[in-house]
Amino acid sequence: MGPVSLLPKYQKLSTWNGDLAKMTHLQAGLSPETIEKARLELNENPDVLHQDIQQVRDMIITRPDIGFLRTDDAFILRFLRARKFHQADAFRLLAQYFQYRQLNLDMFKNFKADDPGIKRALIDGFPGVLENRDHYGRKILLLFAANWDQSRNSFTDILRAILLSLEVLIEDPELQINGFILIIDWSNFSFKQASKLTPSILKLAIEGLQDSFPARFGGVHFVNQPWYIHALYTLIKPFLKDKTRKRIFLHGNNLNSLHQLILPEFLPSEFGGTLPPYDMGTWARTLLGPDYSDENDYTHTSYNAMHVKHTSSNLERECSPKLMKRSQSVVEAGTLKHEEKGENENTQPLLALD
């Protein structure tokens, strides 16, 4: 019996004939289902993969104002996948990736997990990363907004921790193709905290995540958002691309609409899922190593974001959860509610996926 696909429409691969000769070394390790998904959804063709990459590389000469610090095949490929193999769009994203780093040099100094600011953000759960992927093979990232202690973490350091985490995760070719899901829980996020989300720092985040990073986001889900987060979203909406806006869902405290898009079996109990409550230290321990502690200084030199390698989830299983002290979810299991359709108009997703 062959492997079971993540996607029902890929369970029977009409074009997959078992001939691996067409696979290049850049597709090594990908499942047949993922290769077929890349072909159908991203226009990835192993016969011309190296030509596609070279076409993007040849465009670099047109932007002498940008320092392209990495141009190897595997690196350029992730930008092609993020833009469905439209070479001009992929090059534009590649250029924006390095330009963003040139324009924000301070953000990328000591861009490693053991940088003090990044380390604090990781320890406090920014971001959370679930070990298992959803039924579409996407990695699920979590942000518990109320855990933002503004006396401890700057917004910039939280953004740096998120970008570093994405750098680590995007090394996995499966995630380059399947993408990510982001869930932001706004429970207990105060108006005072929200007031620190200024237009300038929100613009910095939008530019870094939407315009300058080669990740495919299948959805950004807001839960338990108060009225002032609705207002904030209205403020930033003009700066979002139409494709991004169509992938943002405002659920309120309605779990039904969330579960229509992400099955409960892939979610922790904070979101009405069947998994245990999320341990905020899981991802920090993965990046910092088994000697991670949230109380003692940690000096082990870890991930250089330009040369990170895919992280084994074995670290997560080897580290004891009892190390976590600060970084527990502020949301108790079962806080979110199941509601009937139409009971509260603000709890339904305002937008739908393409």
Q: Which carries the bigger pLDDT value, residue 29 or residue 222? A: 222
The domains of the chain are located at 26-103, 111-290
Element (H, E) at 75: helix 73-82
Instruction: Report whether 123 contacts 158 (CB < 8 A).
Output: no
Over residues 143-166, the mean pLDDT reads 96
For residue range 263-274, list pLDDT tens digits in order. Answer: 999 999 999 999
pLDDT in tens, 60-100: 999 999 999 999 999 999 999 999 999 999 999 999 999 99
Amino acid at residue number 8: P
For residues 161 and 163, give the distance between their C-alpha atoms in angstroms, rounded to a whole number: 6
- Helix (H/G/I), strand (E/B), else coil: 30: coil
Rounded mean pLDDT, 310-326: 37
- Looking at residue 295, its pLDDT comes to 54
Q: What is the percent of the chain with per-residue pLDDT over 70, rounded to a whole number? A: 75
Grade residue 290 by pLDDT with cuts at 50, 70 and 90: low
Q: Model confidence at 345, in pLDDT bands (50, 70, 90)? A: very low
The CA distance from 249 to 334, in Å, is 20
**Contact between residue 49 and residue 26 where contact means Cβ atoms under 8 Å apart:** yes
Task: Say if residue 291's pLDDT is above 60.
Answer: no
- Each residue's pLDDT tens digit, 173-211: 999 999 999 999 999 999 999 999 998 999 999 999 999
Give the span between the Cα atoms of 255 and 188, in whole angstroms.
17
The structure tokens listed for 105 are 């040099």
What is the CATH class of 26-103?
Answer: mainly alpha
pLDDT at 294: 59
**DSSP alpha helices (H): ranges in 87-154?**
87-103, 116-123
- CB-CB neighbours of 325 under 10 Å: 11
Q: Say if residues 23 and 39 touch (Cβ distance below 8 Å).
A: no
Least confident of 79-83, 118-122, 247-251, 341-345: 341-345
**Do 26-103 and 111-290 agree at the fold level?**
no
Q: Which of 172, 162, 177, 167 is nearest to 41 (CA)?
A: 177
Determine the pLDDT at residue 29: 85
Structure confidence at residue 349 as a pLDDT band (50, 70, 90): very low
pLDDT above 60: residue 304: no
Amino acid letter at 122? L
Best CA proximity match to 145, nearest among 197, 72, 105: 197
Q: Looking at the predicted structure, is the pLDDT value of residue 131 above 70?
A: yes
Across 119-133, 208-222, 288-302, 319-333, least confident range:
319-333
pTM for the full predicted model:
0.79
- What is the pLDDT at residue 314? 41
Cβ(236)–Cβ(209) under 8 Å? no
Percent of the chain with pLDDT strictly greater than 90:
70
The pLDDT score that the predictor gives to residue 169 is: 98
Q: What is the pLDDT of residue 324?
A: 33
pLDDT for 78: 98
Per CATH, is 111-290 categorized as 3.40.525.10?
A: yes
Q: What is the pLDDT of residues 15-25, one digit of tens each?
A: 444 444 455 78
DSSP string, 174-215: HHHHH-EEEEEE-TT--HHHHTT--HHHHHHHHIIIIIS---
Instruction: Give me the sheet containing 248-250, strands edge to edge.
Output: 128-129, 139-144, 180-185, 217-223, 248-250
Q: Which residues, 6 or more positions from 170, have their beta carbon under 8 angstroms from its beta carbon?
A: 78, 176, 213, 214, 215
